[in-house]
Chain A
Amino acid sequence: MQKNSNYLVEVRNLKQHFINGVGSHKIKVKAVDGISFGIKKGETFGLVGETGCGKTTTGRSIIKLYKPTDGEILFNGEVISRGAETYIKNIRQYKIDMSEEIATLKTKEASTEAIKEVKEKYRDLIVNEKIKIKDVKRLYREETETMRKIQMIFQDPISSLNPRMTVKEIIAEGLRIAGEKDNDLIDKKVADILKIVGLLPEHAFRYPHEFSGGQRQRIGIARALIVEPELLIADEPISALDVSIQAQVINLLNNLQKEFGLTVLFIAHDLSVVKYFSDRIGVMYYGNMVELTTSKELFRNPLHPYTRSLLSAVPLPDPHYEKTRKRFAYVPHEYHNYTEDNQPSFVEVKPGHYILASKEELVEYKKQLK
């Protein structure tokens, strides 16, 4: 699946670890631990999971708000950011190998020349890796061109808009950063984009606090769209809104996506909302992707126990159904029996349907397919 070049964005074995605390309190949080997926041009990809599963982190890594720990992210076939952990690990391994080799040589009482030779061999290898690390850092710093083609909408429409800037300033900021200096053009573009997201051009001179939650989210969308991005990352754009407003924003995003042919990465915790958008859905659990398939297939054939547990937790507006609904919790060790030589991997159960499973489980899942 990783070889397909139809993907606009490709995430390969992305790892994002955070280090907290110092000394003996040092904790490594593995927010994202090796996920791979691709988003095709023009499609909407939904990323679902509970709080803390790493879905937001994934989104933020793609837009380069974080330096990835490992793995790489490709945009339009080009690497836009890459992690250096493999190289750091290689260096560590070389150092260990070197000291071992020297130790064995010393027991054999080899000449100093031979030891020197070994040292030099490893030094070259290490220098090589160090150059690669430098490249990674330079890439992260200098590659800014594609950043204009990725934009993000945030969860909280109140804290994501600067209260001291007028709507026009907020929306035009992206244009100005991109180097646009023609004020008339900026005015025109802002007025156009406001109309597109369902606001009035007069709104441009007001401040964010004068708007309701739904309208503020529209401003956030306008700000993202004005630079004409190719990829839009929507990070729970509606979970802070009221039901009736939620529907408005969902429909607006849907229309915009069709109109501009945008590619959207939609992040949410509620499967019922994601369904309205997504062509394909990826389900995440504690830093791993557990299931990935088309939206239709996921609702017809949820295979992974975590996906089924998520589906069973969605409340629906029907009292008779609700009062008989059985929710079941997902407790990993009850469902899986992973041992050293029975590790799960992300495999294809049927074309286009991927799941995190061990070999035994895969057989089991294949039986369950409808």
Chain B
Amino acid sequence: MDREKILEVKELSVSFKTLHGTVKAVRKVTFDLYKGETLAIVGESGSGKSVTSRAIIGILAGNSIHEGGSIIFEGNDLMLIPEDEFHKLRGSRIAMIFQDPMSSLNPIMKVGKQIVEALVLKLGLSKQAAKDRALELMNEVGIDRAEQRYFAYPFQFSGGMRQRIVIAIALANDADILICDEPTTALDVTIQAQILELINKIKKERNLSVIFITHDLGVVANMSDRVAVMYAGKIVEYGTADEIFYEPRHPYTWALLSSMPDLESKEMLFSIPGTPPDMHHPPVGDAFAARNKYALAIDFEEQPPMFKISDTHYASSWLLHEYAPKVKMPDILSRRIARMQKKVKDAKK
């Protein structure tokens, strides 16, 4: 890899102490983030994708336990540096956009002031300079009549507009890494498309590195350069967007992809049976084995290691072992890939 690594997560494990014992939310997660790329982390709720991102920006809940591993950013381990040093990074180097734009904005503070707040605190700008900069930011994220909207309250904005304000705040200090934690889940399709276009545009203009967390594979296909699929606190497959969407190797990725509704097929939608495992007591073997129709006997006894498929593509499934029976991806998936490729070709003509 000739590109510059901006963030390295190595064997990160995070647990939470609860009344019923410890919940192993993230178990030995390893990935890198390169400069200027979008890494999508996909998974169901409870798969640990949000916890991973919160660990990176250092806002884990009070009952969290750092079980091991490190997050290297500019030579520092973010899991170890003290809070007052983290304060200098958070917001100014690493910024985050949250899922629900209503609860991440202060309802009794004018939006302009909320943007200025970040500028005054971190950059020490004067009031007037900060206001000018805030208006610039509001224009950049596509809010027209910024002069008037500057004095509006969040409740006067629609969901999409609020999310634009949240993005403006995140961008205020020229961060290098932007973490988007399901930024469009609360929005409907047309607004979602606008926000995704905005994030893509800003990413290009500012050469941002983006970690994009979502459970919607359609959104992932749109945004990502590389994809990490998480299940039960582990990354089960990791590769470029093309590899994950056209040559998926892990049964969980297959299942996720097949359960996505699309516009063409009318057949019965594939659904993954069962529910994710209870992370108080994670299964001994492969966590997905119980819901996996391709599961081998060894899946219930031992966790599969990461098998290397290509330089950029890794998957953790015993099916990839040289002695394992050769299993092809489900028909429903290969059919869709063929259909979509034909469609793209037709569109090009």
Q: Do A and B bind each other?
A: yes
Interface size band for A: 35 or more
| Selected interface stretch from A157-165, A169-177, A219-227, A311-319 | A311-319
CB <8 Å contact, A310 and B269: no
Q: Count A-B pairs with CB separation below 8 Å.
A: 136
> Is B8 close to A, CB under 8 A?
no
- Is residue A327 within 8 Å, beta carbon to beta carbon, of the partner chain? yes
User: A137 to chain B: which residues have CB within 8 Å?
Assistant: none
State whether A317 and B45 are in contact (beta carbons under 8 Å apart), knowing that A269-B189, A310-B189, A311-B263 are contacts in the complex.
Answer: no
B80 within 8 A of A: no
A323 pairs with B261, CB closer than 8 A: no
**Complex contact B188–A269 (CB within 8 A):** yes
Q: How close is B217's CB to chain A, nearest CB, in angstroms?
A: 4
- Is B202's beta carbon under 8 Å from chain A? no
Q: Contact between A250 and B261 (Cβ–Cβ < 8 Å)?
A: yes
Asked if B340 lies at the interface with its beta carbon under 8 angstroms from chain A, I say yes
Which chain B positions have C-beta within 8 A of A247? 259, 261, 269-272
The 8 A CB mask of B264-277 against A (1 = contact, 0 = none) is 10101111100100
Q: Which of A266-305 contact B (CB under 8 A)?
A: 269-273, 275-276, 299
Q: Mark A50-81, 1 if CB is under 8 A from B, else 0.
A: 11100000000000000000000000000000
Binds B, one of A32-40, A82-90, A238-246, A362-370: A238-246
Partner of B263, one of A243, A246, A271, A309: A271
Give every chain A residue within 8 A of B215 (Cβ-Cβ): 242-243
B7 at the interface (CB under 8 A from A): no
Q: Are A244 and B189 in contact (CB-based, < 8 A)?
A: no
Max chain B CB contacts within 10 Å: which of A244, A245, A316?
Answer: A244
Say whether A50 contacts B191, CB under 8 Å.
yes
Please state if B193 and A319 are interface contacts (CB–CB under 8 Å): no
**What is the CA–CA distance of A247 and B271 in the complex, to the nearest angstrom?**
5
Within 8 Å by CB of B218, from A52, A214, A314, A330, lies A314
The interface residues of chain A lying within 8 Å CB-to-CB of B336 are 318
Q: Is the CB of B263 within 8 A of A242?
A: no
Instruction: Using A51-B188, A244-B255, A310-B189 as known contacts, say yes or no to A317 and B269 having CB atoms under 8 A apart.
Output: no
Taking a contact as CB atoms under 8 Å apart, the answer to whether B222 and A243 are in contact is no
Q: Is A93 an interface residue (CB 8 A)?
A: no
Residues of A within 8 A of B222 (CB): 315, 319, 322-323, 325
Which secondary structure dominates where chain A touches chain B?
helix
- Say yes or no: A242 contacts B261, CB within 8 Å: no
B193:A313 contact, CB within 8 angstroms: yes
Q: At the interface, yes or no: A248 with Cβ under 8 Å from chain B?
A: yes
B191, B194, B218, B256: the one contacting A244 at CB < 8 Å is B256
Among B44, B187, B189, B343, the residue within 8 A (CB) of A321 is: B343
A246 CB contacts on chain B under 8 angstroms: 259, 261
Q: A50-B190, A313-B190, A313-B193 are in contact. Are A319 and B241 (CB under 8 A)?
A: yes
Q: Which residues of chain B are near A243, meaning CB under 8 Å?
A: 44, 215-217, 256, 259-260
Contact B262 A272 (CB under 8 A): yes
> CB of A212 within 8 A of chain B?
yes
Question: Are the CB atoms of B270 and A51 closer together than 8 Å?
Answer: no
B188 close to A319 (CB less than 8 A): no
A51-B159, A269-B188 in contact; A317/B245 too (CB < 8 A)? yes
B132 within 8 A of A: no
- In the complex, B39 has a CB within 8 A of chain A: no
Complex Cα spacing A273 to B338, Å: 21
30 A-B residue contacts at CB 8 Å? Answer: A51-B188, A52-B158, A243-B259, A244-B256, A245-B44, A247-B269, A247-B270, A250-B261, A251-B271, A272-B263, A275-B261, A275-B266, A313-B193, A315-B189, A315-B193, A315-B196, A315-B221, A316-B218, A316-B340, A317-B220, A317-B245, A317-B257, A318-B337, A318-B344, A319-B241, A320-B242, A320-B341, A320-B344, A321-B344, A327-B193
Interface residues in chain B, defined as those with a beta carbon under 8 Å from any beta carbon in chain A: 44-45, 158-159, 187-194, 196-197, 215-222, 224, 241-242, 245, 255-257, 259-264, 266, 268-272, 275, 336-337, 340-341, 343-344, 347-348
